[in-house]
């Protein structure tokens, strides 16, 4: 196993079902819905929308960086939350913190439930040109 693959494995949580974390077609990367799972122990972080969303975005960042990209290469996201009213303002702040002025497109949807009674999940599409 090469060092890039090993660091990738260590920096994101294991999938919680029969899927892969990322698929590549050319320079486009489709990233499965990420949640606030700490890759060190594959457990959800504290039940708090800011902490869960922060870890979720860190997991997205780790996947993109493992493929040679950066946050600015994420071009589109879909966010699923179980409480739009309380979650959206915090998610907005974290998007500005992590993406800066180069925000991706985003759809945010309130749903009735997520795996493991979670409160936020984000899937993404990234364009990472070969260097």
Per-residue pLDDT of 1-30, as tens digits, reads: 334 444 555 788 888 889 999 999 999 999
The yes-or-no verdict on residue 84 having pLDDT over 50 is yes
Q: Which residues 6+ apart lie within 8 Å of 89 measured at CB?
A: none
Rounded mean pLDDT of 96-101?
Answer: 97
The yes-or-no verdict on residue 64 having pLDDT over 90 is yes
End-to-end alpha carbon distance in the chain? 23
Encoded tokens for 6 = 């090993």
Count up the domains in the chain and report the number.
1
Range of the structural domain that residue 92 is part of: 3-127
CATH of the domain at 18: 3.30.1330.40
pLDDT in tens, 29-41: 999 999 999 999 9
Structure-derived torsion over alpha carbons of residues 79, 46, 36, 93, reported in degrees to the nearest 10: 50
The pLDDT value given to residue 13:
87
């Amino acid at each position: 196993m090469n060092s890039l693959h090993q660091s990738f494995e260590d920096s994101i949580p294991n999938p919680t079902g029969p899927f892969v974390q990322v698929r590549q077609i050319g320079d486009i990367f489709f990233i499965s819905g990420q949640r606030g799972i700490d890759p060190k122990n594959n457990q959800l972080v504290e039940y708090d929308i800011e902490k869960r969303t922060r870890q979720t975005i860190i997991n997205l960042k780790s996947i993109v960086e493992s493929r040679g990209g950066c946050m600015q290469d994420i071009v589109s996201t879909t966010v699923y939350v179980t409480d739009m009213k309380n979650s959206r303002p915090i998610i907005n702040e974290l998007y500005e913190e992590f993406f800066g002025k180069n925000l991706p497109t985003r759809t945010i949807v309130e749903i009735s439930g997520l795996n493991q009674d979670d409160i936020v999940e984000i899937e993404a599409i990234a364009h990472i040109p070969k260097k």
